[in-house]
A and B are shown apart, each in its own frame.
Chain A
Amino acid sequence: MASTVLKLEGIEKSFGGVRALKGVDLEIGAGEIHCLAGENGSGKSTLIKVISGVHEPDAGWIEIGGRRFTQLSPIEAISLGVQVIYQDFSVFPNLTVMENLALNMELMDKRAFMNYRRARSIASRAVAQIGFDVDLDERVENLSVADRQLIAISRALLQNSKLIIMDEPTSALTKKEVKSLFSLIKELQSRGISILFVSHKLDEVFEISERYTILRSGENVAKGSTTELDHRAFAFHMTGREFSAESYRPAGPRGEPILSVRGVSLRGCYSGISFDLAPGEILGITGLLGSGRTELVETLFGITQPDSGTIEVRGLPAKIRSVKDAIRKGLGYVPSDRLTEGLFLPQAIDRNAVIAVLDRLSNGFGFLRRKAVAETTLRWIRELSIATKDPSLPVRTLSGGNQQKVVLARWLANDLSVLILNGPTMGVDIGSKYDIHALMRKLASEGLAIIIVSDDLPEVLACASRIIVMREGAFVRELDPASTTESVLGELSTGVA
């Protein structure tokens, strides 16, 4: 193997009670395209942040360009030639292309004032490196996702990078954009730059990378050359179980629709959306980030009001003006960002679990019935097998999967008719993911109507009784999961056949 750019050995990192990395090794050669794969919650992001100096590892060491470190600062990492392109690209949408490109250089040079002539020359040099044709004075917020990514890449190249880490670079790209990204990656490789490509999509891993490292629950489970890897082995390493194509068929709709959506539109988010949902159904809504999927379900839950269209609950027109209205109509919503939208992190587990049902756990004067609160908490901790010894501990001490169960408990403790889950297993360990899937099926079989919003296509295929694909704020097509595949869903979401 050629000389090594980056070598990690025995990296450990814990957050609160959660061991995110349990002694991970990683080695990347010069000019190598290396894939770091692993499911959500496997520790990939933590590992990247250790390499880029954001997190200080608890144990282990990092070797970059022959120098060994037990910890790095972000500045050191950059000066050693390590650049990270995060999923959000870390660009400033309100600034122009030029400003975005030149800002870091100016900061690195510790300049107090911005010189626009110098900035323009830096910026034009940056885009020229990758032959990227863009108006330097355009505001970044007006550019496409793919262009923003190219800006992030050009910016990274300005810093004399030896290793560029791309965190799930394809998650919001169309097929065509993915193709051009890949040819750019090859081009960078030919200049001797190493790429660490972080992904959980196996097709991409096979197409682009030469070597791979797979993480699961914060541990190395496999590494080697991509040519020696097959789909089956990849899936096994990722999930830790043999894939018996989950042949779950939901019982399907029972009786009259409980929720009917008729032509709802919200300017700039989605338009003309109609569908019915009956008890016992699990409706999967999938689409790329920005396809309007989250905005749509948040309207159902009363967070936003549609500009037009009607929503019916149990056949009666329903005005859902607030979250309280939605809850009264029997809706529950598990938001996509558990940490900022779902949980009150420093507050106790029990408080987090009962907060939405306090009306039922208090007396007529608004005082809490302690016994009822304790019983409800205990019941849902048992029922959802939430792993905790003491419900008065802060909810942030729980693992991702258990945290998600706490959010679920909050709604299940209510009399629900419709449960909406946005990214139900994002950042959740495999075991809990399995539990949550099983729970959704059980709830559906008991007559709950469920909507899952997810871009985890295998999840949608495995759980939904019906799938709707969204693109650019509209429903593209409705599909039967029994007769469709991941690649069909992927093509419909991106709009490229």
Chain B
Amino acid sequence: MKNEQAEVALPLIRRGRDQNLARLLVMLGVVFALMAVLRPEQFVTPANFGSMMRQFPEYGIMAIGVSLTMITGGIDLGVVGTANLSAILAAKLMFAAVPRGAPPEQALPYLALAVLVALACGLACGAFAGLLISRFEIPAILATLGTQQLYTGIAIGITNGRPQSGLPLLYSKIGNTEFFGLFPLSFLVFLVVAVGIAFLLSSSRFGMYLYMLGTNSKAALYAGLGNTSILIRTYMLSGLLSSVAGLIMMARANSAKAEYGAPYTLQCVLIAVLGGIDPSGGFGKIVGVTLAIFILQFLSSGLNMFNNISNFYRDVIWGGVLILVLVFNRLLSQRAERRAARRGE
């Protein structure tokens, strides 16, 4: 009786999937060791770590958004468009409201308002995608390909395609604050997002709904989960995270532009898949996604240190890694199924 209680007390902690985490940790270690050995004087330096910490939060936060939608069995290819559109709206508002050279105490309320507008824009962008996917039953991959194009198009339209620079100094000052002289604000935002979303997925009702809906949307319908509302909320969350990423990008570049971060879309999908999010939905954890973000950042920063590897090869590498990971995961799950079948006998 006591034993049984103890056993059933932790039923929500999933076993078996942790193999994936172990694999990712090994991969992270291997990539790190490789770079450290090949480029010791460049890779293992405080400067490099500082720059990596400033680079990954923007796409890392979008990758977490993409991961959420993939857990529901969908995908969000509109994250970059949402990020840029949100940032541009915020920039426009700042230009309009804050006179050049205004003192901080005058600028601050408008900056806060601009941030809120950006976040609201992210929510709205996500809600629209979610509506297309849930109410109109458009496959997520097509719906968000459309929204990506749409949001980017609107952003180009508003700005005539020109970068929006000359933001109030205060914005980039706040955006590039370093805590303890080490951690950029964007890194801390990423940590809060990652921990918060991980907790949401593992411990909330909404999190469990996401996994269940992603596993079998028909059964979710019959269990009364309210599929439409769950999907819309998921894409809103992804949109919100995208707008946060957009604000970070704007702080780093000290400007906003409709076409910033175009390669991030594929990178986010790659991170999600590498991190163990099941592309057909229902499984995956944020811990894995976070490790995948680190792996990619190490790879990316490391590759920069090889002068003979042109940036043009980057797409080949990312595309190749994505396909390899997909094939590898498929093979692994086939093996797991065969094992389960044998054990069942």
Contacts and interface: CB of A to CB of B under 8 A. Distances in A.
A359 B205 contact: yes
B14 A323 contact: no
B181 interface: no
Nearest to A381: B8
Contacts of A15: 341, 344
A117 interface: no
Contact of B216 (A333, A343, A377): A343
B345 A341 contact: no
Contacts of B8: 350, 374, 377-378, 391
Nearest to B278: A346
A195 interface: no
Given A324-B226, A326-B224, A359-B205, A14 B215 contact: no
Nearest to B11: A350
A344 B219 contact: yes
Contact of B208 (A19, A345, A368, A410): A368
B216 A323 contact: no
Contacts of A351: 12, 208, 211-212
B206 A366 contact: yes
B224 A323 contact: yes
A348 interface: yes
B340 interface: yes
Contacts of A344: 212, 215-216, 219-220, 282
A366 B226 contact: no
Given A324-B224, A366-B205, A410-B223, A14 B11 contact: no
B218 interface: yes
Give the interface residue-count category, chain B. Answer: 35 or more
B120 to A, nearest CB: 22
A367 B203 contact: yes
B150 to A, nearest CB: 30
A368 B12 contact: yes
Contacts of B106: none
Contacts of A322: 224, 226
Interface residues of A, number: 49
A475 B343 CA distance: 49
B306 interface: no
Nearest to A411: B223
B345 A367 contact: no
A229 to B, nearest CB: 33
A347 interface: yes
A360 to B, nearest CB: 10
Given A14-B341, A366-B204, A323 B215 contact: no
B4 interface: yes
Contacts of A373: 11-12
Contact of A391 (B11, B206, B209, B283): B11
A323 B221 CA distance: 7
A374 B11 contact: yes
Given A16-B341, A17-B344, A351-B212, A341 B14 contact: no
A355 B216 contact: no
Interface in A301-348: 301-303, 322-324, 326-327, 333, 335, 340-348
A355 B345 contact: no
Interface string B191-232: 000000000000111101101100110111111111000000
A271 to B, nearest CB: 24
A371 interface: yes
A79 interface: no
Contacts of B5: 378
Contacts of B204: 362, 365-368
A348 B223 contact: no
A45 interface: no
Scoring A16, A347, A348, A362 by chain B CB atoms within 10 A of each residue's CB, the highest score goes to A347
B201 to A, nearest CB: 11
A346 B344 contact: no
B53 to A, nearest CB: 30
Contacts of B226: 322-324
Given A18-B344, A333-B222, A346-B215, A368 B11 contact: no
A323 B345 contact: no
Given A14-B345, A333-B222, A368-B203, A340 B12 contact: no
B2 interface: no
B1 to A, nearest CB: 11
Interface in B148-175: none
Contact of B215 (A347, A358, A377): A347
B218 A358 contact: no
B9 interface: yes
B282 A358 contact: no
Contacts of A340: 216, 218-219
B316 interface: no
B341 A378 contact: no
Nearest to B337: A16
B161 to A, nearest CB: 42
Nearest to A382: B4
Contacts of A302: 224
B7 interface: yes
Contacts of A18: 344
B10 interface: yes
Contacts of A370: 9-10, 12, 203
Interface in B3-53: 4-5, 7-15
Given A374-B9, A374-B11, 12 more contacts: A16-B340, A18-B344, A323-B221, A323-B226, A324-B224, A324-B226, A326-B224, A342-B222, A344-B220, A344-B282, A347-B282, A391-B8
Interface of A: 14-19, 58, 301-303, 322-324, 326-327, 333, 335, 340-348, 350-351, 355-356, 358-359, 361-362, 365-368, 370-371, 373-374, 377-378, 390-392, 397, 410
26 contacts: A303-B221, A323-B222, A323-B226, A327-B224, A333-B222, A340-B219, A344-B216, A344-B220, A346-B215, A351-B211, A358-B209, A359-B205, A362-B204, A362-B205, A366-B205, A367-B203, A368-B205, A368-B208, A370-B10, A370-B12, A373-B12, A374-B8, A377-B11, A378-B5, A391-B8, A392-B13
Question: What 10 A-B pairs come out closest when comparing CB atoms?
Answer: A17-B344, A323-B224, A344-B215, A350-B11, A358-B205, A362-B205, A327-B224, A16-B344, A378-B8, A392-B11
